[in-house]
């Protein structure tokens, strides 16, 4: 709505310090991101050209307000009047954004190493969990992904990584539509991700 766009414009101006573009370092002023273990991945996703719908690999150095709106559109909450087709498209857009966060080398699949990196980052704040345990968790999750996406594999078969189609299968039945959104509380707190 025009009211939401105005609200986002105020946030954009606050983040950019009244400049025409936002750079990665502008995200340092967001308190809710400061302690997020995957903060770097979240910020990276804002500058990922694939998420900016430019369909090319790589990162933008800065984003303008239109780009900011594009990124924020991935986080908008579900609308009650959406039909099944709109809901499906809405869901796929959100999952594509998440997929790009994991696929850090932009090759179209999430490899075991990329997944290990994310799990290690997520669990880095837990002092009782060693790096080897985090690796085991990631390895187990990747084996689960292979069984969901490929089925029973032969002893010499190697699972190359999670494609976007695999990612959709894995998230089937999980309510991402209401969980992945940003809630703006006030001018001091920029964003709260669920």
pLDDT of residue 165: 92
The tokens for 193 are 């991700």
Tell me: pLDDT of 97 over 50: yes
| Multiple choice CATH, 2-178, 3.20.130.10, 3.40.80.10, 1.10.238.10, 3.40.50.300 | 1.10.238.10
Query: What tens digit of pLDDT does each residue of 58-96 get?
Result: 899 999 999 999 999 888 877 788 898 988 888 899 999
Query: What tens digit of pLDDT does each residue of 155-187 get?
Result: 777 778 889 998 898 888 777 766 665 554 334
User: Domain ranges in the chain?
Assistant: 2-178
* DSSP sequence for 49-113: TTTTT--SSSB-SEEEHHHHHHHHHTTPPP-TT--HHHHHHHHHHHHHHHHHHH-TT-SSEE-HH
pLDDT of residue 188: 43
Cα–Cα distance between 159 and 143 in angstroms, integer?
Answer: 8
Provide, for the chain, the percentages of residues in helix, strand and coil under a 3-state DSSP scheme, each rounded to the nearest 5.
Answer: 55, 10, 40
Cα–Cα distance between 37 and 118 in angstroms, integer?
Answer: 9
- Residue 48: strand pairing partners: 59
Q: How confident is the model at residue 18 (pLDDT cuts 50, 70, 90)?
A: very high
pLDDT of residue 133: 85
Angle between helix 112-123 and helix 84-102 axes, rounded to 10 deg: 90
Q: pTM of the predicted model, to two decimals?
A: 0.79
């Amino acid at each position: 709505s025009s009211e939401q766009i105005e609200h986002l414009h105020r946030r954009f101006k606050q983040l950019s310090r009244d400049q025409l573009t936002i750079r990665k370092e502008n995200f340092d002023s967001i308190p809710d991101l400061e302690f997020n273990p995957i903060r770097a991945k979240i910020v990276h996703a804002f500058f990922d050209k694939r998420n900016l719908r430019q369909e090319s690999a790589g990162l933008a150095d800065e984003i303008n307000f239109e780009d900011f709106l594009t990124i924020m559109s991935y986080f908008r909450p579900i609308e009650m009047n959406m039909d099944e087709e709109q809901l499906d498209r809405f869901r796929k857009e959100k999952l594509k954004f998440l997929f790009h966060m994991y696929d850090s080398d932009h090759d179209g699949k999430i490899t075991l190493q990329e997944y290990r990196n994310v799990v290690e980052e997520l669990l880095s704040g837990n002092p009782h969990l060693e790096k080897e345990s985090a690796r085991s968790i990631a390895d187990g999750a990747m084996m689960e992904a292979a069984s969901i996406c490929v089925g029973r594999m032969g002893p010499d078969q190697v699972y190359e990584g999670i494609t976007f189609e695999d990612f959709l299968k894995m998230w089937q039945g999980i309510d991402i539509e209401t969980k992945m959104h940003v809630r703006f509380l006030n001018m001091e707190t920029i964003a709260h991700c669920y």
